[in-house]
């Protein structure tokens, strides 16, 4: 066996940032040390910027608080949520890496059925580096995994797949439930480990959870805006949902893929369902209007970049969802501001890569 000094270089060591939103000391990183220590961390401190956040020794990180966000973005800082984990998307904006993995500070290392620790980050990277199959469903799930393939009847013309933009992981222990479900199932825990990864089909929306999520920042980064949530806003706990709906519509339009399933993390702490209900109350009603909106969104063929798609989406949000509540006019403004701020920090370059070959301009 190779000695520790000859351990293989971690996948994408210099091409991936780990983004963590937090209001507390990051002691949870100790458990993740074997998997996270080789990578660069971007910590987005929410809440009181005068509070000192302790990060365990040995980690390479940069930390941003609200004062930093205001200083770097100026008036455009208004698009970054305050007192809500939606602030994490600032980390996506300031990263200079190709890939992002984001995780919450109450998520720990899970074990697979054999009792082995799961390297969630490694599995996300494998998901992102293999193609997706959004145009035709494979009944053996991900055909690119060892031991699987395309089943009989799968069109050969579609077996090359498309680039994977998003890898959406799951959680053991505390499920990601909304407040009403939490209230009626207070003791429910997820103990089912399903060894599967699947591509979410084109035209199908999904509820994206931001606590165990990876994505290709160059392919889809500008769409990963977690909206206006938290302090001063009439809604919370829909930040990742909003980003997921926007992202899925845009990946479908641009011919990119979204995977869900492995890897699992251990979600350790159930949030208060009564506090959650206050945050979610409007969203629970509004989503009955939001889902049909996203299902019917059509982006013009001229929208060939994520930024163009997102600005068109903002226009449609204002025109159609502004009638649901005035909040959506404000959100549409912030979507535009987000893209302006993104482009200031990340001057646009190139186009959307195909699965094999040069970028489409």
**Domain residue ranges in the chain:** 105-345
CB atoms within 10 A of CB 185: 12
C-alpha dist (Å) from residue 299 to 240, 241, 303, 324, 354: 21, 20, 7, 21, 19
Average pLDDT over residues 91-109: 98
Residue 310 in this model has a pLDDT that exceeds 60: yes
Query: Is-contact 269 174, C-beta < 8 A?
Result: yes
Average pLDDT over residues 161-179: 98
pLDDT bin (cut points 50, 70, 90) of residue 4 is: very low
pLDDT bin (cut points 50, 70, 90) of residue 9 is: confident
Sign for the CA dihedral angle at 273, 258, 28, 235 comes to negative
pLDDT of residue 180: 97
pTM listed for this prediction: 0.94
pLDDT of residue 348: 66
Query: Is-contact 359 350, C-beta < 8 A?
Result: yes
Average pLDDT over residues 31-44: 98
pLDDT bin (cut points 50, 70, 90) of residue 356 is: very low
Lowest average pLDDT, out of 3-12, 107-116, 253-262, 340-349, goes to 3-12
Please tell me the distance from the alpha carbon of residue 44 to that of residue 47, in angstroms, as a whole number: 10
- State the Cα angle at 303 between 297 and 235, rounded to 5°: 45
pLDDT in tens, 262-291: 999 999 988 999 999 999 999 999 999 999
Question: SS in 3 state form for 161-199?
Answer: CECEEEEEEEEEECCCCCHHHHHHCCCCCECCCCCCEEE
Average pLDDT over residues 232-236: 97
C-alpha dist (Å) from residue 52 to 47, 65, 84: 11, 10, 18
Average pLDDT over residues 235-262: 98
Please tell me the distance from the alpha carbon of residue 120 to that of residue 332, in angstroms, as a whole number: 34
Q: Which two tokens stand for residue 248?
A: 């899925």
């Amino acid at each position: 066996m190779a000695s520790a000094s000859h351990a293989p270089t971690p996948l994408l060591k210099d091409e991936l940032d780990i983004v963590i939103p937090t209001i507390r000391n990051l002691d949870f990183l100790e458990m993740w040390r074997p998997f996270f220590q080789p990578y660069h961390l971007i910590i987005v401190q929410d809440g009181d910027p005068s509070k000192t956040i302790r990060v365990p020794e040995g980690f390479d990180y940069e930390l941003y608080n609200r004062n930093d966000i205001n200083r770097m973005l100026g008036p455009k800082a208004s698009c970054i949520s305050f007192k809500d984990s939606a602030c994490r998307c600032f980390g996506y904006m300031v990263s200079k890496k190709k890939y992002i993995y984001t995780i919450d500070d109450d998520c720990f290392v899970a074990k697979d059925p054999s009792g082995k620790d799961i390297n969630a980050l490694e599995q996300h990277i494998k998901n992102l580096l293999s193609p997706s199959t959004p145009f035709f469903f494979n009944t053996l799930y991900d055909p690119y995994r060892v031991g699987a393939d395309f089943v009989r009847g799968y069109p050969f013309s579609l077996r090359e797949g498309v680039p994977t933009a998003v890898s959406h992981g799951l959680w053991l222990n505390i499920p990601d439930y909304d407040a009403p479900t939490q209230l009626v199932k207070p003791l429910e825990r997820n103990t089912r480990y399903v060894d599967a990864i699947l591509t979410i089909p084109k035209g199908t929306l999904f509820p994206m959870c931001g606590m165990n999520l990876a994505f290709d920042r160059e392919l889809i980064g500008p769409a990963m805006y977690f909206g206006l949530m938290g302090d001063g806003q009439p809604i919370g706990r829909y930040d990742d949902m909003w980003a997921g709906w926007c992202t899925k519509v845009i990946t479908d339009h641009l011919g990119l893929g979204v995977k869900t399933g492995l890897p699992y993390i251990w979600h350790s702490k159930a949030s208060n369902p009564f506090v959650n209900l206050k945050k979610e109350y409007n969203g629970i009603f509004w989503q009955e209007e939001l889902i049909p909106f996203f299902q019917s969104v059509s982006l013009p063929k001229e929208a060939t970049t994520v930024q163009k798609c997102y600005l068109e989406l903002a226009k449609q949000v204002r025109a159609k969802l502004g009638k649901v509540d005035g909040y959506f006019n404000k959100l549409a403004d912030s979507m535009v501001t987000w893209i302006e701020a993104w482009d200031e920090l990340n001057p646009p370059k190139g186009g959307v890569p195909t699965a094999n070959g040069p970028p489409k301009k």
